[in-house]
Amino acid sequence: MSDSRDLWMVGDVLDAMSGSTVPGYVIRIMDEVEAWLASAVSEEYMMDPADVTGAGERNLSADLEYLFNQLEWAGAHADILPVLKGSVRHEDAVILSVGPIILDEGLRMMVDHAAIFARGSCRRVWLISDTWVIGDVLSYMPHLRVLREGGVQVHFMLVTPWGHSEIPWSLGAKK
């Protein structure tokens, strides 16, 4: 990344999108989340009527526990939220904001973990989400600035059933 933590150059964006700076365990998590999302939208996925909401959408809450169980291995590399088992112990944290866990909730978990519960030990946060809501992101920009000033690198990883990529978080030029 460029000299300024708040300024992204074209090369920085391309590196982020290619995933070349993302640890292997984060890519593996995103691959598993991607497969989980793909199964939810697959034509072959048979829906139990009990798993469908009133709006005709699939209720992913029932399947979320399955995904979290599949990701238990990642606890050897990072603190995994919201399924953290045991005490805070890693420099990396992965926040899973997928399925029924809305982006605002994921952003709150990220800030709480990095600034309160893992303060002093958390150095990198990987927020993995299946949504991008500009209003939610804008409301957390002051929090992101404080985390960055405290030495915490924050990465936003967008995952869809068809792929994944890092979305750059620029806080604008410092004044």
Domain count for the chain:
1
- Domain range holding 115? 10-167
- Answer yes or no: is 102 within a domain: yes
Say which amino acid occupies 10.
V
Q: What is the pTM of this model?
A: 0.78
Q: What is the CA radius of gyration of the chain?
A: 17
Q: What is the pLDDT along the chain (175 residues), one digit of tens a residue?
A: 444 455 667 766 666 555 567 999 999 999 999 999 998 777 545 555 555 555 555 555 557 888 999 999 999 999 999 988 777 789 999 999 998 899 999 999 999 999 999 999 999 999 999 999 999 999 999 999 999 999 999 999 999 999 999 998 866 544 3
- Answer yes or no: is 30 within a domain: yes
Helices (H), 42-100: 61-70
- Answer yes or no: is 1 within a domain: no
Say which amino acid occupies 141.
M
**pLDDT computed for residue 45 by the predictor:** 52
- Answer yes or no: is 95 within a domain: yes
- Answer yes or no: is 3 within a domain: no
- Answer yes or no: is 53 within a domain: yes
Beta strand pairing status for 163-167 and 92-97?
unpaired
CB 120 within 8 A of CB 148: no
Tens digit of each residue's pLDDT (9 = 90 or more) over 12-57: 666 655 556 799 999 999 999 999 999 877 754 555 555 555 555 5
Cα 161 from Cα 39, distance rounded (Å):
8
- Answer yes or no: is 47 within a domain: yes
**pLDDT computed for residue 1 by the predictor:** 45
**pLDDT computed for residue 159 by the predictor:** 97
The rounded percent of the chain whose pLDDT value lies above 70 is: 75
- Answer yes or no: is 67 within a domain: yes
Q: What is the 3-state secondary structure (H, E, C) of 124-151?
A: EEEEEECCCCHHHHHHCHHHHHHHHHCC
CB 133 within 8 A of CB 103: yes
- DSSP per-residue codes, 57-71: -B-THHHHHHHHHHT
Name residues whose C-beta falls within 8 Å of residue 76's C-beta, 6 or more positions apart in sequence: none
Cα 13 from Cα 116, distance rounded (Å):
30
